[in-house]
C-alpha cells in the first residue's frame, strides 16, 4: 500500500525506523506494516490499510481487538489505582488469581504472576528445581518457551542456537509429530507409544534422580501446532509420577480458549504440577503471565522463602484486564464458540484447501489453532522453506495474503490460521478465500 506523506501512518513508520529496535530481526531489512487502530478481528491504519488478523498478533488477542468490556476495565482500574508493589494485597490481583485458579484442575489453587510467558517458564522451572532439589529439566525439540535465559534454553527451535551455552541442565527430546516422525511410526497411536518410550529412555539415561521437571507445550504453538496423540500426555504424567518428576505444561499460547477449551490439557484430562500462562489470559491488552502452582509445590514455600519476584508481578491494570477478559469469555461463550468454529468452519475449510492445493502437505489443529504445512513435494514432504529459515516462495505467499487483506502468521514453511477466538463464521470464510488465492502462489513452487 502507499503511505501518504505527512500522515499519521507515515510519522509512525518514520519514528519506528529511526528509533525502534525490533525483536528476532535483522534491523536493516525491516519494512514493518503500520497499525494505528484495530477492532474485533481487524487491524488498520490511517492510510487505508485494513487486514483481517488471522495471526491474532502473536496468537494472543483471543478476545479480539478493543473488546469494550476489557477496555472499560482498564480505564476504571487506571482511575482507581494504576500500580501497586507486589508485596501488597490488591483486589484486581486477587480477583484475577481466583478466576484463573477456578479454571485449573483441582489441587492447583495458587497463582504467581509474571509479566509474560518467558518469565512464567523461568519461574516454573525454578520452582520445580527447588521443590525437588534436582537440577535437570527435559524439554522437547520443536518447542518455544521464551527468550529469557532459562526459557530460551528450554526452547527447542532455532532461536535457541545463538543463545544456548549448554550449561543450564536442560536436555531435549523428541515429542510426537507423525507428519515428520522421528520414530518411523505408521499412525498416531504408534507415534505416541514410541515417543513415550523414547522419553523414558532419555530419563533413564540422564538419571531419574537428577531430573526436576519435564516441560512441554501442551500443543506446541510457534513450532507447528502439533496436537499430541491421545494417551501421550497421560503417559508423560505417569512417567513423571513414577520418577518423582514435576510436569510443567506451557499453556502460554494454547490456553484461555485457543483450542476450544480453557486449557488445552482439558482435552485429555491431564493434571500438571505447574501451568504457565500469558497471552490469552487478557488478550495481551496489558502484559501479564503467570504460573498456576500445585498445592504440594506451594507448600514447599509456606515456611521457606521463594527466591524470586518481579516489580510488576500482578500489576493491577493487567489483572483488571484479565478479570474482564475471563468474565467476558465466560458470559459470551467464547471458548465454546472457538470449539464450534474449529470443528464446523475453520477445520473443514482448511482440509478442503489441502485437498485442492498440491503445496499443502498437512493441516492440523483444534479450535482456532491451526497450521498449514507447505511443501514443494507431497511425496518427499520437502518443506517450502528450510527448518529454521524462510524462502522466496514463502515470502511470496505472505505477500499474497497481505495484498488481499489478510494478516497471516508465518513460520518457516508454515502458515498458521489463528484468528481470535470470537471470530465470526463470515470472517473465517473471508480468510479462507484469501488463503485459497495465496496457496495458488505456493502451488507454483511445487514439483
Please report, for the domain that includes residue 423, its CATH number. Answer: 3.90.1150.10
pLDDT of residue 295: 98
3-state class of 231 per DSSP?
coil
15 in any annotated domain: no
- Decide if 213 contacts 125 (C-beta within 8 A): yes
| Residues 241 and 359 reside in one and the same domain | no
| Residues 358 and 244 reside in one and the same domain | no
427 in any annotated domain: yes
pLDDT of residue 7: 85
3-state class of 110 per DSSP?
strand
Using alpha carbons, select from 345, 313, 327 the residue that is nearest to residue 429. Answer: 345
What is the residue range of 337's domain? 35-66+333-443
Residue carrying C-alpha cell 487478557: 282
d(CA 198, CA 173): 8
User: Could you tell me the CA-to-CA distances from 56 to 15, 113, 403, 408, 416 in Å, in that order?
Assistant: 24, 23, 18, 9, 10
Using alpha carbons, select from 31, 63, 92 the residue that is nearest to residue 315. Answer: 92
| Residues 89 and 184 reside in one and the same domain | yes
pLDDT of residue 360: 98
Q: What is the mean pLDDT of each run of 10 residues along the chain (447 residues)?
A: 78 94 92 95 94 98 98 98 97 98 98 98 98 97 93 89 78 97 97 98 98 98 97 98 98 98 98 98 98 98 97 98 98 98 98 98 98 97 95 97 98 98 98 98 95
Global confidence as pTM: 0.96
| Residues 383 and 237 reside in one and the same domain | no
* Of the residues 315, 331, 347, the one at which a domain ends: 331
* Of the residues 331, 354, 372, the one at which a domain ends: 331
User: Could you tell me the CA-to-CA distances from 337 to 20, 39, 261, 265 in Å, in that order?
Assistant: 37, 19, 10, 18
Residue carrying C-alpha cell 505447574: 274
| Element housing 247 (H / E) | strand 246-250
- Decide if 101 contacts 109 (C-beta within 8 A): yes
- Decide if 403 contacts 434 (C-beta within 8 A): no
10 in any annotated domain: no
8 in any annotated domain: no
Q: How many domains does the chain have?
A: 2
Chain-centre distance for alpha carbon 191:
23
Using alpha carbons, select from 423, 442, 424, 430 the residue that is nearest to residue 63. Answer: 423
- Decide if 287 contacts 65 (C-beta within 8 A): no
Please report, for the domain that includes residue 239, its CATH number. Answer: 3.40.640.10
| Residues 364 and 436 reside in one and the same domain | yes
Amino acid at each position: 500500500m502507499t503511505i501518504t506523506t505527512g500522515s499519521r501512518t507515515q510519522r509512525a513508520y518514520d519514528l519506528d525506523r529511526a528509533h525502534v529496535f525490533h525483536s528476532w530481526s535483522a534491523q536493516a531489512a525491516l519494512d514493518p506494516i503500520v497499525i494505528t487502530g484495530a477492532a474485533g478481528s481487524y487491524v488498520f491504519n490511517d492510510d487505508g490499510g485494513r487486514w483481517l488478523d488471522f495471526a491474532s498478533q502473536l496468537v494472543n488477542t483471543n478476545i479480539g481487538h478493543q473488546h469494550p468490556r476489557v477496555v472499560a476495565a482498564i480505564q476504571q482500574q487506571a482511575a482507581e489505582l494504576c500500580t501497586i508493589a507486589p508485596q501488597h494485597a490488591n483486589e484486581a490481583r486477587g480477583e484475577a488469581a481466583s478466576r484463573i485458579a477456578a479454571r485449573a484442575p483441582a489441587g492447583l489453587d495458587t497463582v504467581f504472576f509474571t509479566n509474560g510467558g518467558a518469565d512464567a517458564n523461568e519461574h516454573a522451572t525454578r520452582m520445580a528445581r527447588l521443590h525437588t532439589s534436582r537440577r535437570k529439566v527435559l524439554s522437547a525439540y520443536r518447542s518455544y518457551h521464551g527468550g529469557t535465559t532459562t526459557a530460551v534454553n528450554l526452547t527447542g527451535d532455532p532461536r535457541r542456537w545463538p543463545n544456548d551455552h549448554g550449561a543450564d541442565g536442560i536436555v531435549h527430546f523428541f515429542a510426537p509429530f507423525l507428519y515428520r516422525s522421528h520414530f518411523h511410526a505408521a499412525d498416531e497411536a504408534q507415534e505416541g507409544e514410541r515417543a513415550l518410550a523414547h522419553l523414558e529412555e532419555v530419563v533413564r539415561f540422564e538419571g531419574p534422580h537428577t531430573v526436576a521437571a519435564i516441560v512441554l507445550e501442551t500443543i506446541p504453538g510457534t513450532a507447528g501446532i502439533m496436537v499430541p496423540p491421545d494417551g501421550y500426555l497421560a503417559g508423560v504424567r505417569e512417567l513423571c509420577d513414577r520418577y518423582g518428576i514435576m510436569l510443567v505444561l506451557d499453556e502460554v499460547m494454547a490456553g484461555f480458549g485457543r483450542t476450544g477449551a480453557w486449557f488445552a490439557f482439558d482435552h485429555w484430562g491431564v493434571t500438571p504440577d505447574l501451568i504457565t500462562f500469558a497471552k490469552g489470559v487478557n488478550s495481551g491488552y496489558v502484559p501479564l503471565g503467570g504460573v498456576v502452582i500445585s498445592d504440594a509445590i506451594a507448600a514447599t514455600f509456606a515456611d521457606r522463602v521463594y527466591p524470586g519476584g518481579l516489580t510488576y508481578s500482578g500489576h493491577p491494570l493487567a489483572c483488571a484486564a484479565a478479570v474482564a477478559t475471563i468474565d467476558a469469555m465466560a458470559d459470551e461463550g467464547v471458548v465454546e464458540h472457538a470449539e464450534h468454529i474449529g470443528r464446523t468452519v475453520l477445520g473443514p475449510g482448511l482440509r478442503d484447501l489441502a485437498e485442492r492445493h498440491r503445496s499443502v502437505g498437512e493441516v492440523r489443529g483444534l479450535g482456532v489453532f491451526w497450521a498449514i504445512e507447505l511443501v514443494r513435494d507431497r511425496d518427499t514432504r520437502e518443506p517450502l522453506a528450510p527448518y529454521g529459515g524462510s524462502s522466496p516462495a514463502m515470502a511470496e505467499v505472505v505477500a499474497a495474503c497481505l495484498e488481499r487483506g489478510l494478516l497471516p502468521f508465518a513460520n518457516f514453511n508454515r502458515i498458521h490460521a489463528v484468528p481470535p477466538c470470537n471470530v465470526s463464521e463470515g470472517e473465517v470464510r473471508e480468510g479462507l478465500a484469501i488463503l485459497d488465492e495465496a496457496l495458488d502462489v505456493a502451488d507454483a513452487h511445487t514439483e
